[in-house]
Amino acid sequence: MLTEVKVLEVLGGLKEPFLHKTLAELNAIEEVKIKEEKNHVSVKIQIAKTGTSEQLQLQTQVVNLLKEAGANTVGIRFSELPEEVLAQHRQGVSQTEEANLLTSNKTTFIAIASGKGGVGKSTVSVNLAVALARLGKKVGLIDADIYGFSVPDMMGITERPVVRGEKILPVERFGVKVISMGFFVEDNSPIIWRGPMLGKMLNSFFNEVEWGDVDYVLLDLPPGTGDVALDVHTMLPACKEIIVTTPHPTAAFVAARAGAMALKTDHEIIGVIENMAYFESKLTGEKEYVFGQGGGDKLAEDLQTEVLGRLPLNQPDWNDDDFAPSIYQEDHQIGKIYLEIAKKITSVLIK
């Protein structure tokens, strides 16, 4: 039978992921409780930074070690080490580790989410990233829709990332640094993975890519509230979110679920973008509301946020010499709307 002393012995040698000292050295195992009748062990552990991929990795190590030692089930709670402990031990942390994208305090993460597929979430993601770059911002874009990756094709990217040392260099197009599962799959093959593997790939996008200095990193999330969305909410506790919907009431109703998930995990929703809001005739200038009206406003009201912009049905002007099938030119009607949305987002985030 496991005892508190045995648990401390088993876990004491594990390294805290940021300070690289053992949990025993840091006195970081704050609490141990054992329910003998169920052989359940619960522990409370302090680390330098919670809500990160490093926490997930440590969590896995703790569970595996305790189960190997005889526990049937394991419960873990994480909290942050006191500031005086951090100050005492941070001197040994290298500059490289401090510059990790997940621990950077210079980068704002913005997740682009939707309740269902087909509402133009990826189109919004790529054009919003390009619009922010046109405003002079340093922008990264992670195609986190690992099953339904589409960003490289939408941006007309044909090259692949290269490896320098132990880091992957993202591909840059239109001033945006891009990483996608699509770069690592041959011939548009389907991805047949389970949840934990998705989390590992997402973790690689954060930790194994040479992002450099970036002001904003946009994440094109899969539709809905599945494994990848959950991983993003865990890894990036301070992430902002934009919810994309069409004006149709059902699309807005389903999108509210993605918004509710953001609110429950303390992600700040900075606004709603209503895509396919209307069709405007080139001949008469008359607007036809093909998918109805009011969905964006209702969603924004439900989530207590604002509508950042409404995008009409249209397509970019294609250029054979610089082909990117989903990117709107800066002087295109919709390109200008994206630019206004990007300005609104930067002003909201400065407040």
Domains of the chain: 4-97 (3.30.300.130), 101-350 (3.40.50.300)
Mean pLDDT of 245-263: 81
- Higher-pLDDT residue of 351, 265: 265
Mean pLDDT of 223-246: 74
Mean pLDDT of 248-252: 83
| pLDDT beyond 80 at 74 | yes
pLDDT, tens digit, for every residue of 181-197?
888 766 555 554 444 55
Mean pLDDT of 277-297: 90
For residue 330, what pLDDT is reported?
92
For residue 279, what pLDDT is reported?
92
For residue 258, what pLDDT is reported?
76
What value does the mean pLDDT of the chain take? 84
Task: Report DSSP letters for 258-327, one per residue.
Answer: HHHHHHHTTPEEEEEEE-S--EE-TTT--EE-TT-S-HHHHHHHHTT--EEEE--B------GGG--TTP
| pLDDT beyond 60 at 28 | yes
Q: How confident is the model at residue 349 (pLDDT cuts 50, 70, 90)?
A: confident
| pLDDT beyond 70 at 151 | yes
pTM (2 decimals)?
0.68
For residue 199, what pLDDT is reported?
55
| pLDDT beyond 70 at 210 | yes
* Runs of H (alpha helix) within the chain: 4-12, 53-68, 83-89, 95-98, 121-134, 151-154, 195-207, 227-235, 249-264, 295-302, 333-350
